[in-house]
Homo-oligomer: A and B are copies of this chain.
Amino acid sequence: LDTAMSPKITGELLKHLRQVMKNCKYFSEPIQAYIIPSGDAHQSEYIAPCDCRREFICGFNGSAGTAIVTEQHAAMWTDGRYFLQASQQMDNNWTLMKMGLKETPSQEDWLISVLPENSKVGVDPWIIAADQWKNMSKALSSAGHSLVAVQDNMIDVVWTDRPERPSTPLRTLGLEYTGMSWQDKITTLRAKMTERKISWFVATALDEIAWLFNLRGADIEYNPVFFAYSIIGMNTIRLFVDLKRLSHPTLRDHLQLDSPSRPELSIQTFPYESVYTELQAICAALSPKDKVWICEKASCALTQVIPKSHKAPIPYTPLCLAKAVKNATEIQGMKMAHCTSVFFKTLLAVLLTEISAADKAEELRSQQKDFVGLSFPTISSVGPNGAIIHYRPLPETNRTLTTNEIYLIDSGAQYVDGTTDVTRTMHFGTPSAFEKECFTNVLKGHIAVSAAIFPNGTKGHLLDSFARAALWESGLDYLHGTGHGVGCFLNVHEGPCGISYKTFADEPLEAGMIVSDEPGYYEDGCFGIRLENVVLVVPANPKYNYRNRGSLTFEPLTLVPIQVKMMNTELLTQKERDWVNEYHRKCREVVGAELERQDKKEALEWLIRETQPVV
């Protein structure tokens, strides 16, 4: 394995943090353990530099992980995607806790096993979700310890050069991109609130707020969101955001800040930080029957403001569900955004490194119409680096693309009309029989999901095994889910649907939802294979219609050739070969037409060559 990725040295930092944990300036008594979750106050998956506290303390910069520091120990929990990466980025002060393995203790069990009696375990209540707080608190209490909310974040105390919270310019999106005005979205939300007898709704997820107001920002790299909260009542709309951001006339006009069309659609604006006191004021004035909707995943700090008798926690908000089901305008935009497959062509032409290939991909992408930025850091990996599932090339790990090793690229971008995410695995020489066998099993899984027909109301987790059946038959598997929801010029990972063996927060698939289909296979120390398309849930019309439930299937939005050289076509069934040929026919038809329009002859020739039918 490549050992060039050097770990962060954390000895002094941990010493300093442990002093802070004992210092009664920050909490009324010494605490014996401090939990550092990976999230921000909005439970974002990608976070701004100022919120990368877990990375700061342990060095591991993957998207998921929780660090816990006690007087004696320091441990960090992450999942199968990140085992290799985390072990390379953390020094010996840290124990890597591999989640999903039988022998790995849960955070609660581990704490209970190492803590002295009657310990205090601290956490910042703004960056722990209410449901996680509850579970952790219960487990610790049952063992005689207690979970305590530490208002000053202790990492921030030791983090002397912590960056500022970003406040990028806001961009308004018109009806031609959103298909629905923010006023109509508010009205729809209020109808749902009336139906469920809810008086107030507290929006805390950044992508939900961006979607609701048809605004975009750039506060978090790759995710076009901005730091804000919103509280919506039946007659009022409160928006909490850095007020400096609301000065531009286009924006004031978009939000009708100076001349609201109707009083109940008038937006009151408040500073970002005042959400806590404002929510307190709202809660103080509640009538006995008033109920307040807040997501179970919202921060413990905000959730605890709402008195128990008024709190109506929900696993996912109505905005989350509404946002997941794309309207016709959004679907059209997503299709346009995906008409960009040609950048893959250039990768084949020149000898590159992982980094220069990623840069080249970004450069080519940036020439596309309506390009805003990448939707996540490009994964560009050669040979053994491909087995690090969420690998990101760094100068010290950078490998050169050769004709001897498999190349895996997972790349996505934000366009004003949509968000993309695609993975292709290629060989520029002659792949081995084993590599082809693995690739073909991954392809079979990809097709099994993409071509599946299933009843309306089916949850994504029921499709996950389709992606694995062929791999399982050979004794192989991959340790990540098969697909995630994809936003429309929003987060590339979004809820509440997905395709995973994990069953939490998994709402039934509906026509208009957009998810990824991305099985893989990773041979540690050798290569990684993943094949990912973004797919749209569409109605299917099978022969029968049991109990009038209706059926669904997927339509691929991603249109990038799948390298035939990597396939062992003898392992494919006729149905699977037909699927590959039909998919390549569609790539030619849609992308080819665009290339002809742009008069890109060389690219068109490449496309035609790469989409020859398999027999």
Q: Interface of A with B (CB < 8 Å)?
A: 102, 142, 309, 452-455, 457, 462-466, 468-469, 472-477, 501, 503, 540, 542-547, 549, 551, 573
Decide: B501 and A472 in contact? CB cutoff 8 A: no
Decide: A475 and B102 in contact? CB cutoff 8 A: no
Nearest opposing residue in chain B for A448, CB measure: B469
Decide: B454 and A542 in contact? CB cutoff 8 A: no
Which residues on the B side are within 8 Å of A545 (C-beta)? 475
Decide: B543 and A475 in contact? CB cutoff 8 A: yes
Expressed in whole angstroms, the Cα–Cα distance for A545 and B474 within the complex equals 8
Expressed in whole angstroms, the Cα–Cα distance for A457 and B468 within the complex equals 14
Which residues on the B side are within 8 Å of A546 (C-beta)? 475-477
Decide: B472 and A551 in contact? CB cutoff 8 A: yes
Decide: A474 and B573 in contact? CB cutoff 8 A: no
Which residues on the B side are within 8 Å of A465 (C-beta)? 454, 462-463, 465-466
Expressed in whole angstroms, the Cα–Cα distance for A475 and B463 within the complex equals 16
Nearest opposing residue in chain B for A544, CB measure: B475
Known: A453-B473, A463-B465, A476-B544. 8 other contacts (CB 8 A): A102-B457, A452-B469, A453-B475, A455-B477, A462-B501, A472-B542, A475-B542, A475-B546
Copies, count: 2
Query: Which of B453, B464, B476 is the one whose CB lies under 8 Å from A472?
Result: B453
Q: How far is the CB of A408 from chain B (nearest CB, A)?
A: 18
Which residues on the B side are within 8 Å of A463 (C-beta)? 465
Which residues on the B side are within 8 Å of A472 (C-beta)? 452-455, 542, 551
Expressed in whole angstroms, the Cα–Cα distance for A604 and B469 within the complex equals 38
Expressed in whole angstroms, the Cα–Cα distance for A476 and B473 within the complex equals 26
Nearest opposing residue in chain B for A476, CB measure: B546
Nearest opposing residue in chain B for A522, CB measure: B546
Which residues on the B side are within 8 Å of A542 (C-beta)? 472-475
Nearest opposing residue in chain B for A289, CB measure: B144
Expressed in whole angstroms, the Cα–Cα distance for A544 and B453 within the complex equals 30
Decide: B475 and A551 in contact? CB cutoff 8 A: yes
Expressed in whole angstroms, the Cα–Cα distance for A553 and B328 within the complex equals 45
